[in-house]
Amino acid sequence: MREYNEASKLADDITGMISERTSFGTGPEAQRHSSAIRRKITILGTRLDSLQSLLTKLPAKQPLTEKEMNRRRDMLANLRTKVTQMASALNMSSFGNRDSLLGPDTKPADDMARISGLDNAGIVGLQRQVMREQDEGLEKLEQTVISTKHIALAVNEELDLHTRLIDDLDEHVEVTDSRLKRVQKNLAILNKRAKSGCTCMCLLLSVVGIVGLVVALWLIIKYL
């Protein structure tokens, strides 16, 4: 019962965290809070699986009455239902789809009830029925695996496409950078030529000015 009490306490903690989730809004803090809740739900699901395994082995180690076994099964089933509801609130489909993927857990008492009162032929027929059910379950599992494979291939193709787009973008960036460097080089040459042209123009204007002054002085001296 100690393991069950720990699992129940963890479930209560998760319930409290889910109640507090609305106070965090939609920012990064809310995402971290939701991630912490999902981690705890996953841990709780693992503990419940361990409890289910312990409960199955318990009659051999510690004889219990049928009433006590049923009570413990009900407690574990109620806690698992609570975990499934919490997982559904966070869109954690792995918990909600567990039974549809692997089938519901069968109890030893149910198996004993199915074979009670059957003769050898009935038991053989029941075994064949169970084998057919297992084959059907394996077929469903195979379909799920194939579907998952197709999804993985689609994701891989999408990643390849994004990789090619990034490579093309890098190539365009390199071409643009090369063109920009050429334009900057041409601008530097034009700037240098412009400065050289301004210097020549200034010298020419200076010479013209000096000649004009000389002519003006000569005219003044001549008419004086």
| Per-residue pLDDT tens digits for 53-95 | 777 776 666 666 778 778 878 888 888 888 888 777 776 554 5
> Considering the domain boundaries, does residue 129 fall inside one?
no
> Considering the domain boundaries, does residue 173 fall inside one?
no
* Percentage of the chain exceeding pLDDT 90: 0
- Phi, psi (5° rounding) for residue 22? -65, -25
pLDDT at 124 over 50: yes
> Considering the domain boundaries, does residue 202 fall inside one?
no
Q: Which amino acid is at 104?
A: P
Residue 119 DSSP symbol = -
CATH number of the domain that residue 43 is part of: 1.20.58
Diameter of the chain measured on Cα atoms: 155
Average pLDDT over residues 113-128: 66
CB 101 within 8 A of CB 141: yes
Of the candidates 79, 81, 83, 59, the residue with the CA atom closest to the CA atom of residue 69: 59
Instruction: Determine how many CB atoms are found less than 10 A away from the CB of residue 16.
Output: 10
Residue 94's contacts (CB-CB under 8 Å, 6 or more residues apart) are 87
Quote the pLDDT of residue 115: 56
> Considering the domain boundaries, does residue 87 fall inside one?
yes
Quote the pLDDT of residue 97: 46
Tokens of 127: 């075994």
CB 37 within 8 A of CB 14: yes
CB 37 within 8 A of CB 19: no
List the domain range (segments joined by +) for residue 56.
1-100
The tally of domains found in the chain comes to 1
**28-61 helix and 66-89 helix, angle to the nearest 10 degrees:** 160
| Span 166-217, pLDDT tens digits | 888 888 888 888 888 888 888 888 777 777 667 777 777 887 888 888 777 7
> Considering the domain boundaries, does residue 9 fall inside one?
yes
> Considering the domain boundaries, does residue 30 fall inside one?
yes
CB 54 within 8 A of CB 69: no
Chain centroid to Cα 153, Å, comes to 17
> Considering the domain boundaries, does residue 88 fall inside one?
yes
pTM of this structure: 0.39
> Considering the domain boundaries, does residue 121 fall inside one?
no
